[in-house]
Amino acid sequence: MQTTPGIKDVYAARPHVYQYMSASPLLNHAGISNLLGTQVWIKHENHNPTGAFKVRGGLNLAASLSETERTAGLFSASTGNHGQSIAYAAMKHGVKATIAVPEGANPGKVKSMQNLGAEVLFYGSDFDSSRIWVQELAQKQGGRFVTPTEPALIAGVGTYALEIIQSLPEVEIIIVPVGAGSGVCATAIVAKSLNPDIQIIGVQSRQAPAMQLSWQKREMLEAEMQTTAEGLATRVPFENTQTIMRDLLDDFILVDDALIDEATLLLMQNTHNLVEGAGAASMAAAMSMMPKIKGHKTVLIMSGGNQSLERLKALL
């Protein structure tokens, strides 16, 4: 596979993804359409195993391991949806997952990965040190170290975009939350290959704008990271996804965390889904650009549902 995956790679990922999961629902929630004043569908990636879109990427990547890599298994550093995706894919493929996290990482998230059979190793005081350490460990043991924006992950994730266009070929706008950028790149690669008129709009929190700023200025810029939406919390931009985004993205907007919180509650009330901050960011974006989407068939990616009860309590 090239550094930048193409739609052929997404087609090739389909059997690997659908061996272990089904297509996710694309639902037109009347309450949300009424609120936004246009026809809106929600792509429920929160209904996937592990509760997030990332699982598709893990499943595709794990299907292409060499025999040496299978013996030592997958290595990564994450307590979030990426880590769970790697743990889940490893379990399904009968290989070991080793996930490094900093000392004091969220015990609930550590437990989720352990429940999926992953070995969780505590090392260092932040993710940078955990990641560097586990990458070396993978190298020593001949395992496969996985970063969050690898081409095989993007190709796997692209299967949700194919599902959207197959069931709603008349879609005009797709709004995608951006963390590391694998979701928005996968969506843009698929949509622009099949129908370049489909507008792809990324959204990030104004409290963590590194990816948006880098896209806008066309250079790699770090930025402050204060958002409570873990899936959008990128401090250092990713180069390969930035390259794809510069080619294919129609717009990239910022929304305040406060609007994401409001969107989270509106989604729970109107769709009865538990949604995490990143998963609600597409709704927040739609709320902030109602005149632009009016009259256009719009899909919001609900990228994940892994909200904690503590955060939910605070929100309510």
> Which residues of this protein are in contact with a copy of itself, per CB under 8 A?
22-23, 25, 27, 30-31, 34, 44, 46-47, 49, 51, 108, 111-112, 115-117, 265, 268-269, 271-274, 276, 305-309, 312-313, 316
Strand partners for 253: 203
Instruction: Closer to a copy of itself by CB, 217 or 272: give it.
Output: 272
| Cα–chain center distance at 167 | 21
Phi, psi angles (nearest 5°) of residue 200: -110, 120
Query: Phi, psi at residue 126, to the nearest 5°?
Result: -150, 175
Residue 53 contacts residue 45 (beta carbons within 8 Å): yes
Identify whether the C-beta of residue 278 lies closer than 8 Å to the C-beta of residue 52.
no
CA 241 to chain CA mean position, Å? 12
Question: Are 100 and 78 a contacting pair, CB within 8 Å?
Answer: no
Report d(CA 124, CA 144) in Å as an integer: 21
Of 257 and 276, which has the nearer Cβ to a copy of itself?
Answer: 276
CB 60 within 8 A of CB 17: yes
Nearest distance in Å: CB 74, a copy of itself: 17
Residue 64's φ and ψ, nearest 5 degrees, are: -115, 25
Smallest distance, a copy of itself to C-beta of residue 214, A = 30
C-beta closer to a copy of itself: residue 216 or 269: 269
In the bound state with a copy of itself, the residue whose beta carbon lies nearer, of 25 and 102, is 25
20 vs 238, beta carbon nearer a copy of itself: 20
What's the closest the beta carbon of residue 275 comes to a copy of itself, in angstroms?
9
Q: How far is the CB of 143 from a copy of itself (least distance, A)?
A: 22
Nearer to a copy of itself, 170 or 197 (CB): 170
Q: How far is the CB of 79 from a copy of itself (least distance, A)?
A: 15
Q: Strands, DSSP E only, in 169-214?
A: 173-177, 199-205
Rounded least distance, CB 115 to a copy of itself, Å: 4
Shortest reach from residue 306's CB to a copy of itself, in Å:
5
For residue 26, what are the CA distances in angstroms to 1, 39, 47, 163, 248? 29, 13, 11, 8, 23
Nearer to a copy of itself, 112 or 214 (CB): 112
DSSP at 235: S
Q: Are 75 and 51 in contact (CB under 8 A)?
A: no
